[in-house]
Chains A and B, each alone.
Chain A
Amino acid sequence: MDTFLQQVVAGLATGGIYGSLALALVMIYQATDVVNFAQGEMAMFSTYLSWTLLNAGLPYWLAFFATIAIAFVGGIVIQRVIIRPVERAPILTIVIVCIGLLVIFNSVAGWIYSYIQKPFPSPFPERPVKIGNVVFGAHSLGAIGVTLVVLTCLYVFFRFTTLGLAMRAAAQNPASSRLVGIRVGWMLALGWGLAAAVGAVGGMMVAPMVFLDPNMMAGILIYAFASATLGGFTSPGGAVVGGFIVGVMENLLGTYVSFIGTELKLSVALVLIIVVLLVKPSGLFGRAVVHRV
């Protein structure tokens, strides 16, 4: 029973990170119909930036928030400078641009920081937390907390602020949005900024668990895809729930199904993507997308 609870909590911790990244994917997908394959590498690069800031002697939380701010601005700049010129291009062009970004971020990070793994600090105490008779990793609990704070902030922003409403409107119906005076182009850029910031938080929370290296997000991005697919690419809340489910499932299957272990964990995510696409392509919480042809 102890192992079970520990695995569930650890699963929720990584699941929250998958969910955050899935949310970042969904935010951009809903606004532009583009899946940003570079989302994971952007998060990885942000995490390296925070590593630099920490090495320069900044206190953890200062570096944390500075990184979020840099990622936010970086996301906006990427949208304005790189994505906007190909906005009206065929979808395949944009996908290739995103994959190009992925490769560029990965190689630049390798070039600046080398491919050698680096330990990344956690802001939470090393001593495990004991609740009842079960011992939990403090970082796991902390990461869950951070994820929940991020999600709550995003929810409040999108649900209750005028800017959040305008961003949702621009994603749904760009033509009508322009007619009420919304600057749709800037809303898309803001979406990229927010997605990059959310990704940066995910990167900084996952790095203490997996070590920092330029390829650290590759597997995580696949889990994020599985989460977004499971929850539904049209449902931000669903993507987050999908993340938690995938995280917990990954851990439980790895622990209790002997032949899966750690080696086949990633395959589980891929199998999940295929099964969801076969059985319920719109995901658990998504709505079927109908295109007029």
Chain B
Amino acid sequence: MPSLLRATRLEAHYGWTKVLHGLEFAVEAGGITTILGANGAGKTTTLRAVTGMVRIGGEVTFADRRIDGKATEDIVRLGIAHVPEGRGTFMHLTVEENLRLGAYARRDKARLAEDFERVYQYFPVLAQRRGQAGGTLSGGEQQMLAVARALMLRPRLLLLDEPSLGLAPIVVREIFHIVRTINQQEGVSVLLVEQNASMALELADHAYLLETGRVVMSGLAADVRKDAAIRRSYLGY
């Protein structure tokens, strides 16, 4: 399968501190790839590097076009939706306004109503809360709102930054289930960054393991799951 997103010799710095040391990874078109790693391994930075939120070195291509060095706003317009760490809710705007903003970069505004229907079908709770301020939603609801807002872009690639963080397992399961549905029914490719390795490996087809800004292992998710070292360090059995 051809890769939709490919990073080559990817580097990133925060001030003088180098956070990514020449990462190589790819996301297949139509696939779900996960990047696993502990706190501080560089997972969030990797996603921020893809959408131009940090200065980077190396190359990033999306659908065979170089996107490194482009502005975030322009990368989004190519069809990459980034659900950021901390969910990025517009706290004082209503749920509906949050979703309208998700579609801001799209040109075919005619199909907006249809897309509202679609995301409300995935997340009925958001339909109930549509007039409420984003900040009044629970953590799980805000995570759903973040995914829904990303879907309003009709993205080709969805970047998810630790959607499980701080949520009850049952909510995480629900969100992961919807991500799988979106991937299968709409062909949206997914790059998922997670600490919750067992759930991420269940969902993904490819996995990378990150340690202090380097890829230390990669392969099919099923193989990574079976690896003894991974099981000991990340899965706990």
Task: Give chain A's interface residues, CB within 8 Å of chain B.
Answer: 162, 165-166, 168-169, 172-173, 175-184
Contact = CB atoms under 8 A, between A and B. Distances in A.
Contact of A179 (B82, B91, B97): B82
B77 A180 contact: no
A177 B84 CA distance: 11
Interface string B103-117: 011000000000000
A162 B153 CA distance: 15
B101 to A, nearest CB: 5
Nearest to A186: B73
27 contacts: A162-B104, A165-B97, A166-B101, A166-B104, A169-B90, A169-B97, A172-B90, A172-B93, A173-B88, A173-B90, A175-B53, A175-B84, A176-B88, A176-B89, A177-B101, A179-B72, A179-B76, A179-B81, A180-B76, A180-B104, A180-B105, A180-B149, A181-B77, A182-B73, A182-B101, A182-B104, A184-B73
A132 to B, nearest CB: 42
Contact of A180 (B91, B92, B102): B102
Interface string B76-87: 110001101000
A190 to B, nearest CB: 15
Contact of A162 (B81, B93, B100, B149): B100
Contacts of A183: 73
Contacts of A175: 53, 84, 88
B91 A173 contact: yes
A172 B84 contact: no
Q: Which 4 A-B pairs have the closest CB atoms?
A: A181-B105, A176-B88, A181-B76, A178-B72
Interface of B: 51, 53, 71-73, 76-77, 81-82, 84, 88-93, 97, 100-102, 104-105, 149, 153
A176 B91 CA distance: 11
A155 to B, nearest CB: 15
A168 B104 contact: no
A165 B73 contact: no
Contacts of B76: 178-181
Given A168-B92, A179-B84, 9 more contacts: A173-B88, A175-B88, A176-B90, A179-B81, A180-B76, A180-B101, A180-B105, A181-B153, A183-B73
Q: Which of B51, B71, B73, B91 counts the most A-chain CB atoms under 10 A from its CB?
A: B73
Contacts of B100: 162, 165
Q: Which of B73, B93, B101, B149 counts the most A-chain CB atoms under 10 A from its CB?
A: B101
Contacts of A166: 101, 104
A175 B83 CA distance: 11
Contacts of B89: 173, 176
B72 A165 contact: no
A165 B93 contact: yes
B104 A179 contact: no
A278 B46 CA distance: 46
Nearest to B105: A181
Contacts of B104: 162, 166, 180-182
A90 to B, nearest CB: 17
A175 to B, nearest CB: 7
A186 to B, nearest CB: 10
B93 A179 contact: no
Nearest to A183: B73
